[in-house]
Structure 1
Amino acid sequence: MFFILSKIAAFFISPSNAVVFLMTLGVALLFTRYAKTGRRLATLGLAALLIMAATPLGGALMAALENRFPAPPQDAPPPDGIVVLGGAMDEHITAARGRAAFNEAGERLLAFVELARRYPQARLVFSGGSASLTEARFTEADAAAVFFREAGLAPERVLYENRSRNTWENAVYTRDLARPASSERWLLVTSAAHMPRAMGIFRQVGFPATAFPVDYRTTGHIGWSLRPDKHIADGLAFFDTAAHEWIGLAVYHWTGKTDALFPAP
């Protein structure tokens, strides 16, 4: 039930979606006796849209997330295991085309393959099922296995957790599958902006890991975001991504699924 409610809520509280609804309501009211209220709502929505798409706010929110967990030093000891979280592949296109299809977070799997080659003795776990509200026959774990074959990584070397639909389930099911010993050192690979929430959840379920952030979207400096995007839609998508993580941090902490509001190293 939490998963279904979270998916529905995510659609309606997505900043760009909320702004569109606000502006639509405002325009609709222009043709009623509440025209004055409609003008205010439409103006407010337009102002919010411009702030999200054309100001440094999105970059500042994203950089704060990405800077939270630094990458481990090059001389760190070899890990006993490596976990990569799903969310980097389109399982539907992969199933239809027969070739691995990535989304913008594809660097997660590229980094995972590179680490697997660097540490041939490490245990490997891919965690990702399907985020579809309906039953999916082809999961992201299936899609990942296709990519691993294409990349020359033996799929049988990887343990596949294919039931999870969100980050909380990633952590719970991966813990139950890998059963890490307290003395083991595990790397957790996911997008840098997603890392604070992922680390907080993994700690909460009793699976301590070392952050290995990838898929950076900023240089780490707020000034980077002063460069406008070529398309307003790109700016909105960037802001939505950052806002999604901040909202997720708040909701997961409120529901007891992270160990802190803004987990830190």
Structure 2
Amino acid sequence: MLPFNLIIELGIVSVVLMATRFAAFGRKLAVATLVLLALVSFSPLGNLLLYPLESRFPPWDPSRGAPDGIIVLGGSIDPDMSVAHQTPIVRHAADRLLAPAELARRYPKARVVFTGGSANVVSNDAREADWAGTVLENIGIAKDRLIMERNSRNTFENALFTKQLVAPKPGERWLLVTSAYHMPRSMGIFRKAGFDVEAYPVDWRMNGRDDLFSFTNVGTDGLGRTEVAVREWLGLLAYRLRGRTGEFLPGPAKD
């Protein structure tokens, strides 16, 4: 259960209890709920949870030479809103879309793959890849260089479907572009799928170690970091238990 959802539910329960013979307990629960809200919103908790994820993989080292391909994970564009407004709506992690443009310019022979469909439980035809192509073309990547994978619903399917689509050859080097906090789980999934990729983290939410014990004056910022971190740690646990990654917290490959 994510922190904000838990806080809302505890708040509702406390209000209901105050109208019953358990009113004293309801008041205590209400106080505890406010303390919890302050903890996740203004304390360093979110930073402490996020830092081990964001710092797990270092920035990509270009000294090894040009990559053969660039894989961009979805998660930036809201496909449903894009369909509703008939224009790409970028709501999160815009760096996932901006970084490939620079990489494509620097490495003109590299193929560029965007992988992302729809995470909706009820299937519809709103697919992120259908709108990402427009954004990537507008920021300078030629259409004939783009390969769009539109059927995946999660990171596990990103890895499987992309591997099937591009059929990487032995010795090829592929970059994986995604948010720094999401990189450990993504690398673990691609490795488990037998697709050897190199981490290219973007979209950092922290300045680094200096932020570890800093308190935030903006509650929504602290709450947002905590939400992102808790969701990712739960994802790491779930994927490990389901055998979709080979280790709980994947890290850089050992030489």
- TM-score scaled by structure 2? 0.93
Contact 1:99 1:147 in 2 (8 A): no
Q: Which moved more, 1:52-61 or 1:144-153?
A: 144-153
Residue 233 of structure 1 corresponds to which residue in structure 2? 220
Distance 1:117 1:223 in 2: 33
Residue 187 of structure 1 corresponds to which residue in structure 2? 175
Determine which of 184, 201, 204 is the counterpart of 2:189: 201
Contact 1:63 1:219 in 2 (8 A): no
Matched, 1:43 2:35: no
- Match of 1:51, SS state, is helix
1:12-31 residue pairs with structure 2 within 5 A? Answer: 13-31=1-19
Distance 1:199 1:39 in 2: 46
Residue 33 of structure 1 corresponds to which residue in structure 2? 21
1:1-265 residue pairs with structure 2 within 5 A? Answer: 13-223=1-211, 226-230=214-218, 232-265=219-252
Q: Which moved more, 1:29-38 or 1:187-196?
A: 29-38
- Match of 1:212, SS state, is strand
- The one-letter amino acid paired with 1:254 is L
How far does the alpha carbon of each residue in 1:113-141 deviate from its partner, in whole angstroms, 9 at most, with x for none?
11111111112211000112222223100
- The one-letter amino acid paired with 1:181 is K
Distance 1:76 1:151 in 2: 26
Distance 2:83 2:217 in 1: 33
Distance 2:32 2:138 in 1: 49
- Match of 2:225, SS state, is helix
Q: Which moved more, 1:121-130 or 1:89-98?
A: 89-98
Distance 2:26 2:154 in 1: 38
Distance 2:213 2:155 in 1: 28
Distance 2:226 2:180 in 1: 15
- The one-letter amino acid paired with 2:231 is H
- The one-letter amino acid paired with 2:243 is G
- The one-letter amino acid paired with 2:80 is H
- The one-letter amino acid paired with 1:253 is R
Distance 1:187 1:214 in 2: 12
Q: Deviation at 1:96?
A: 3.7
Corresponding pairs, count: 252
Distance 1:95 1:148 in 2: 17
Gaps of 5+ in 1: 1-12
Distance 2:151 2:4 in 1: 30
How far does the alpha carbon of each residue in 1:211-240 deviate from its partner, in whole angstroms, 9 at most, with x for none?
00000110111535514143x233212210
Q: Which moved more, 1:129-138 or 1:248-257?
A: 129-138
Contact 1:63 1:222 in 2 (8 A): no
Q: Identity of aligned pairs, percent?
A: 44
Contact 2:76 2:90 in 1 (8 A): yes
Distance 1:249 1:76 in 2: 29
Residue 3 of structure 1 corresponds to which residue in structure 2? none
What RMSD in Å do the two structures reach over aligned CA positions?
Answer: 1.6
- Match of 1:75, SS state, is helix
How far does the alpha carbon of each residue in 1:73-127 deviate from its partner, in whole angstroms, 9 at most, with x for none?
2312111111010001122333344443212301001001111111111122110
Distance 1:188 1:234 in 2: 27
Contact 1:186 1:209 in 2 (8 A): yes
Q: Against the structure 1 CA distance between its residues 117 and 223, is the aligned structure 2 distance closer, same or farther, given a 3 Å change threshold?
A: closer
